[in-house]
Amino acid sequence: MFDLGMLCLIAFAFCIAGFVKGMVGLGLPTVSLGLLSLFVDLPTAMALLVMPSLVTNIWQAIAGGEFTSLFRRLWLFLLLAVTMVHVGAELFTMVEMLLLQRSLGALLLLYALLALVGKTPRLSPIQERVSSPICGAINGMLTGLTGTLFVPGVMFLQAIGLSRDALVQAMGMLFAASTASLGLALYWHGLMPFDVGILSCAALLPALFGMSVGQVLRGHLAQDLFRRLFLIAIGGLGSHILLS
Choose from 108-117, 144-153, 210-219, 229-238 the range with maximum mean pLDDT: 210-219
pTM for the structure as a whole: 0.80
Residue 212: per-residue pLDDT = 93
Distance of CA 100 to the CA centre of its chain: 18
CB atoms within 10 A of CB 53: 30
**Euclidean distance between CA atoms 178 and 83, whole angstroms:** 9
**Euclidean distance between CA atoms 44 and 53, whole angstroms:** 14
**Euclidean distance between CA atoms 117 and 76, whole angstroms:** 32
More confident residue, 105 or 163: 163
Coil, strand, or helix at residue 111? helix
Residue 4: per-residue pLDDT = 85
Identify which of 64, 152, 173 has the alpha carbon closest to the alpha carbon of residue 108. Answer: 152
Residue-wise pLDDT tens digits, 18-34: 998 888 888 787 788 77
The rounded percent of the chain whose pLDDT value lies above 70 is 90
Average pLDDT in the 121-133 region? 93
Average pLDDT in the 63-84 region? 92
**Residue 121 DSSP one-character state:** P
Average pLDDT in the 129-137 region? 95
